[in-house]
């Protein structure tokens, strides 16, 4: 199992942290209901015109439905930038700014300099001092993301991205490095309880 997870981990890292600029569109139901599907199609057309100069992905809802459609920008070595209320007309200037190594200021909401996946930590970079960090935004500030920590960051249909942020590593540990008593002891000491 370890070699399978390692292969998926490498595959997922290539899409989560590519060597070229990337755009991720929040395609949860709230995003699609606000026009994210139209925005995604516009980015797809621009990607073809730009001869694949940037990567395009879909991700789930980042959790701030009132600001949809949300678009996440990635430039290697720089913080990710979250854009809000993006429309079809914004797509061309977003791509231009991204390929110039910056971001479209008209729709900038916040930045993500590092992300704690609870199973791994990724640091994107330091830049854009004019933008607040995502957890300094009043809506996010009092929240502690746990169960939905990776929502809006990873593609929920891409198992490789889930593995790349630490997914299935506890299962791997339980199956291959722990005995039965150790697994039972871990579950008991965690105080996890079922719903039945």
Reply yes or no on whether the pLDDT at 190 is more than 80.
yes
1, 136, 160, 173, 183 from 170: Cα distances, Å: 12, 31, 16, 5, 10
Between 23-37, 50-64, 80-94, 139-153, the lowest mean confidence (pLDDT) is in 139-153
**Model-level pTM?**
0.89
Examine the pLDDT at 60 and tell me if it is beyond 80: yes
Kindly state the average pLDDT of the residues 114-142: 92
DSSP H or E stretch at residue 44? helix 36-49
pLDDT given at position 165: 92
Give the DSSP H/E element, type plus range, for residue 6.
helix 2-16
């Amino acid at each position: 199992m370890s070699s399978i997870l390692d292969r998926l981990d490498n595959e997922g890292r290539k899409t989560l942290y590519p060597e070229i600029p990337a755009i991720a569109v929040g395609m949860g139901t709230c995003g699609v209901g606000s026009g994210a599907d139209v925005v995604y199609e516009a980015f797809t057309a621009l990607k073809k015109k730009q001869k694949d100069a940037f990567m395009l992905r879909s991700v789930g809802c980042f959790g701030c439905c009132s600001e949809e459609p949300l678009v996440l920008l990635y430039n290697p070595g720089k913080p990710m930038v979250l854009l809000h209320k993006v429309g079809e007309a914004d797509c061309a200037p977003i791509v231009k700014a991204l390929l110039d190594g910056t971001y479209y200021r008209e729709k900038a909401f916040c930045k993500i300099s590092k992300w704690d996946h609870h199973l791994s930590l990724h640091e994107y970079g330091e830049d854009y001092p004019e933008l607040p960090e995502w957890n300094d935004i009043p809506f996010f500030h009092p929240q502690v993301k746990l169960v939905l920590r990776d929502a809006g960051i990873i593609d929920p249909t891409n198992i490789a991205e889930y593995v790349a942020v630490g997914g299935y590593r506890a299962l791997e540990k339980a199956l291959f490095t722990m005995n039965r008593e150790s697994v039972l002891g871990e579950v008991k000491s965690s105080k996890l309880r079922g719903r039945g």
